Structure 1
Amino acid sequence: MAETLRLRQKVIVLAIAPLIVALVAIALFVRQQAVTLAQQQRATIQRAYLDSKEAELRHYVALAARSIAHLTRSGRSDPATLAEAKRILASLSYGDDGYFFLYDMQGNNLMHPRQPELVGTNMWNWRDDLGEPTIQRLIQRAQAGGGFQRYRWVKPSSSQQALKLGYVVPVPHWGWMMGTGIYLDDVEAALAQVDAQQSRNIEETMLWIAGLAILAALTVATGGLALNISEHRVADAKLKALAQRVVDSQEEERARLSRDLHDGISQALVSVKLQLEAGIIRLGGDEGQRAQARIGLERTVEQVKSVLGEVRRISHDLRPTLLDDLGLAPALDHLASEFGEHAGTPVRFRTEGQLDGLPEMVGTVLFRVAQEALTNAERHAGATCIDMSLVRAERCLSLTIQDDGLGFDADSVAVHPKRGIGLRNMMERMEAIGGRLAIASSPAGTRVVASIDLEEQA
């Protein structure tokens, strides 16, 4: 049941995943375009605000210059004339925080209507909260013929330093710098409102795309579930076929073990029993019969040794102790030697790389693949020589069995219902641990390569 649910989930995921990926890509593209457009719009609005503020400052300074023009044109520089000019400029203001200021070119404050305590103070070395020499830069701008300068200054209405856009001009006849400025925090507030509105627009667009994505995913999922009914039936049929193959493989292994026990060990033990009974009878006879009994018992001992060897061979086929005690490489080396002695076909085995500490399941599966490949070579290939190698290159482990036999048609064997059980067993074993099995066969021989990524087994 769990396998069926996983199959259904895979079908749905495979159906929905491309749609979701496409919608996510579209959403990211739309969002990127919206953000870019919002940035461009913000820059345009900011430039428009600043242009309007700069025009406003030029207008204010022009009005201030006209208000004292009759004094500057008079050519007088007496204290009364200068005091009158300062009085006129001090009386000019606009808005809550708009005023004019005067400095001489040495940085002395001559007039400041909002901070009268600064009048008469030399502020050439005064710096703002960011360490910038404010008055020096304003004077430099005025000496260059006038212009705009950004700086930080205490805002009267809040008593906190804020960014300010100043506009200064020189008063050459008196050696003054006259200027005014507009605080930019209201511009930042307006831009913040624009940013907030644009963010809301982008969020609403993303919500619409998300809603469409959910609706599309539900539609595809519904269609996938409908189609999955037939797929489920096919999967059940394949599962039953696989289960039958497993049962067939188990019965084949049991039949092979039964034949080995009956044809080898059972008959040998019967022979040993008869020889022991005959020896016991001869031991009760004359000297000649006892001599024959000893000879018979010696043959019996040799036969028992042969039976023990056969038992060890069968036990090794079922589960080699070397695999558990020493690892995969020694077990394969022993398998190669034993196969050469048993089948009469030499097997050359080599190893390469670090082979210690392999996962137990990986060692078991690769050993079974080697057993099956050698058995197939013995039964069907007619090979005269077999090469077997176990190689580890970083995280990849591969087992290769190459023979010089007759070869076979791998495609026809794979689809034959009563053939290729061994090949299917090897493939299923490798798939179970996330490995790969590659088989290449031709009249020049057969090559079986079983490989696995050890990092995925960690």
Structure 2
Amino acid sequence: MRLRHKVILLAVVPLVVAVGLIIMAQRHQEAVLAARQQALVKTAYMEAARSELRHFTALALSTISPLYNTGRDDDDIKQQAMRQLALLDYGADGYFFLYNDEGVNLMHPRQPELVGRNLSGLRDANGEQPILMMMQKAASGGGFVEYSWHKPSAQAPAQKLAYVTPLERWHWWIGTGLYVDDMDKVLLQLDTELAASVNNTMSWIAGITVLALVVIFSGGLWVSMHELRLADVKLTLLARQIVRSQEEERAYLSRELHDGTSQTLVSVKLLIESVLERMPQDGGPVRAALGRAVERLKDALAEVRGMSHRLRPVMLDTLGLSAAMSQLADEMWGQSTTRFRMRVSGVPRDLPDEVKTVLFRVTQEALTNIEKHAHASEVELQLVFSEEALRMVVQDNGRGFDTDFVLHHPSQGIGLRNMRERLASIDGQLQVTSRAGDTRITAVVPVDAIERFEQL
């Protein structure tokens, strides 16, 4: 695993673990807060309901107290008290009910069918006996009872909180109640709002996490791209250094061949010629052998000089690129029927050694390919100097070739690939077009690249 991948991993894993722990803690806190909130709301709601029921019961007692305090126990006074209690409605589901000490319903404004029935054994939806529990609570002085009872507005059983108080002289107990099922709706709404708030928080956490991951991966990508650019720059510099080393080695070999080997061969040739001059004309086989040696030495000298020039033409360093190219073409086609033309347009300028060397090698490769494969009768070389770029075009009227096949075939087009790589080392480009009768190899080197090499 690469270092940058390890760095990214070391940054991502703790972040993901931390976010996971934050989410777990958030969920736990949500559950704790929801339970605490429900308990507080339920306690406050029930306390408010109890206070309200006490108030309503006090209101009912104050309404019938003038009748109760008369000291009368006859049915007429009791009926008046029942009528007054029946009229004390509050809201759709608020009413008073009246039972005797035996559990017989004496008055119920919402369910008149219950009047006159003994309901002490009645069970609610939860299996409890609400009337019996209220009888017992009234017998002990009054208090609160929770049970399930028919809710008039909903026409269904609902949880109810009732408060009962006794009327001891008449052997009655009076009660009223509030349905508390609305509390469940309130709690559900609070839970929904809390969940929405938590989800919103989680969305923020997720968004921040995604943003952090994007920043981390963007940083990693930037580092990768930066390293890639540095590697590309280093590779380009290495390629240039290799080319420079090759050219320096070629120049060294060229000088050694010209100044060393060539001079040695010339000296040997002169010595043999000197011997031949002193030898009588009838020297026989020895003179003939020495004559053949002189001819071989001449051939060797010509070959060494050719090798020296091909390795590093002296004219490239002394007279410039155009002269070196002309000499190269003259060596190739000076004694053949192939016509060679060279044209220079624009304002010529001195070129850095790297640029001159690359263009010369590209030209050398292109002319060699033409000589080997094109069978051309006309070859033209153009050097175009402009303010934007230096263009070099090698054109021939040979048989052409399939550029796509040559450029992509693994064992073909090695020379073209070499030319492209050489030009890339000086930030140049190679363009190749070919058809029968017209093949063009164009090398383009921007002026800013030339100026950059001039400053090196």
TM-score (norm 1): 0.47
